Chain A
Amino acid sequence: MNSLSDTLGAVAVTTIILILVGKFVLMLWSWPTLSARMWPWLRMQKWWPVPAERTAEMLLHDQLTPVQYHQLCDSGYLDLSSALHPGRTYRIPRGPGQVLVIEHDRVSERLCVQPASGGLPEADVVLIHKLLIEADEDGYLHTANHFPRSIWH
């Protein structure tokens, strides 16, 4: 009888510990600063099971300067200066979200632009924003849906 209750007690304690450890890992995993670093690193590993994500991450890594890539991994977004509008910066998020237009340290509007066909890896979407803003800023702004500060602030 004592042995059974000891076993049950050990199982209960182990289960509680596993749940707590799991919750802690999940909490760390969803912490933006950590996940912004962790996922890109994981995607670049040879064993990563989704080849498209690995290819896209490698391409993004190659297309950004080391400073830009570190910024993206550290903060979860990429800041890109406007070539047409002095003092304007586009803040491109990694993952879902709108591109922020920052003028003189203040978000002036949000832009929503997305690939017409879905299913592109996250890293490719970041690269698309970056390349289009650099190569065809006017066209990018013309395509985007604009959400001025007055709407959402």
Chain B
Amino acid sequence: MGVLRVLSHRGDDRYTWERNAVEVGDPEAVAAVKEAERIFAEQREKGATAVKVAPGKPAERIDRFDPEAQEIVMIPRVVGG
């Protein structure tokens, strides 16, 4: 299962896709991953930073959507305070 989380004032919005089903071309899974990719691009345009997270590993910044990722967190744009 892949997860895209978008942090917001609602906590976080989650979009999931079945990574194994995407590999075998399942239409629903492919549609889900395309939707996640669209949201990823939309958030990036708004200035969000995307990081890939996995248990026991430091977060890794990514600039392109990774359908193989276990979990991607979209961090809203930050500014100096």
A positions within 8 Å CB-CB of B: 51-56, 59, 63, 83, 98, 112-121, 124, 127-128, 130-132, 134-136, 139-140, 143-145
Q: Which of B1-32 contact A (CB under 8 A)?
A: 5, 7-12
Q: Knowing that A52-B10, A118-B9, A135-B49 are A-B contacts, what are 13 other residue pairs whose CB atoms are under 8 Å apart, sorted by A's residue number?
A: A56-B12, A59-B11, A112-B81, A113-B80, A114-B81, A115-B76, A117-B9, A117-B77, A120-B8, A121-B9, A128-B7, A131-B73, A143-B78
- The residue in chain A whose Cβ has the minimal distance to the Cβ of B51 is A135
B residues at A contact (CB < 8 Å): 5, 7-12, 47, 49, 51, 53, 58-61, 73, 75-81
Q: A116-B77, A116-B78, A135-B51 are in contact. Are A51 and B60 (CB under 8 A)?
A: no
- The secondary structure that dominates the B interface is strand
Bound Cα distance A54, B19 (Å) = 27
How far is it, in angstroms, between the C-alpha of A83 and the C-alpha of B58 when the chains are bound?
Answer: 10
**Judging by beta carbons under 8 Å apart, are B81 and A135 in contact?**
no
List residues of chain A with CB within 8 A of the CB of B60: 135
Between-chain CB contacts (< 8 Å), 26 pairs = A52-B9, A55-B10, A55-B11, A56-B11, A59-B11, A63-B53, A83-B58, A112-B80, A113-B78, A113-B79, A114-B78, A114-B81, A115-B77, A115-B78, A116-B47, A116-B79, A120-B76, A121-B11, A124-B11, A128-B76, A131-B53, A131-B59, A131-B75, A132-B78, A134-B51, A136-B51
